[in-house]
Homo-oligomer: A and B are copies of this chain.
């Protein structure tokens, strides 16, 4: 599904009061980001919004229009605070329906677990015209409507949904990266970083300081869609660091 001649983009909307209150530490941003990298899709923007219909609608409508794909996490369970499906249906201008396939999945899942109650049936509701994303852990499926992918808030369930989508979405060339770690204050090599990046048009260099073993260090991350440019830029940076008497940390950090 790769089309290396164009850049594919995605956005993510994380829905949940529990993230904005600081109670729950989000794990979906990094797992969705890392998964998208492998699919050859760039994550352009993330928004974290409350369990609030207008906030969800605003974020979904802006971001699904400006990106190839929009993912959401959170708010698709059986309780009153799970309002994602209704909000997204409203954003798309379609009614909410009980999806027959989702209903069948839930009937099977709850057959030995007390049966399909009204609350559980909520999890079979989708925006009209949707297809399902399998959930191999707890039955209740994710939902795809056009370019919008509605996933669970619980990270392990979302991981399974992402796995089910692997290789299914059209993507471009993956953004490749190399990391060079060095015991150096980043301000000491700022010129080298800027000049090296300038010499390789397809490459970006990010600089991320750290403190460890009582010393100052930095990781320099080189990113490119060209494996050849990436290797050449990395070699140039390593040489430059060596010339300054700051050779990279063997094996990285």
Contact = CB atoms under 8 A, between A and B. Distances in A.
Interface string A38-57: 00001111111111000100
Contact of A81 (B35, B51, B206): B206
Secondary structure at the A interface, as helix, strand, loop or mixed, is mixed
A69 to B, nearest CB: 14
A20 B43 contact: yes
A235 to B, nearest CB: 19
Interface residues of A, number: 67
A90 interface: no
Contacts of A190: 78-80, 119, 122
B26 A221 contact: no
B48 A19 contact: no
A86 interface: no
A25 interface: yes
A55 B204 CA distance: 17
B44 A154 contact: no
Given A17-B206, A22-B33, A79 B119 contact: no
A29 B45 contact: no
A27 B26 CA distance: 9
Contacts of A88: none
Interface stretch (A126-134, A142-150, A191-199, A242-250): A191-199
B51 A45 contact: no
A79 B23 contact: no
A21 B186 contact: no
Contacts of A204: 17, 81
A64 to B, nearest CB: 16
Nearest 8 A/B pairs, CB to CB = A22-B33, A22-B34, A119-B190, A78-B187, A46-B48, A80-B194, A79-B207, A119-B187
Interface of A: 14, 17-27, 29-37, 42-51, 55, 77-82, 113-114, 117, 119-120, 122-123, 153-154, 175, 177, 185-188, 190-191, 193-194, 197, 204-210, 221, 223
Given A18-B208, A21-B223, A77-B186, 6 more contacts: A20-B44, A21-B43, A22-B37, A77-B209, A81-B206, A117-B187
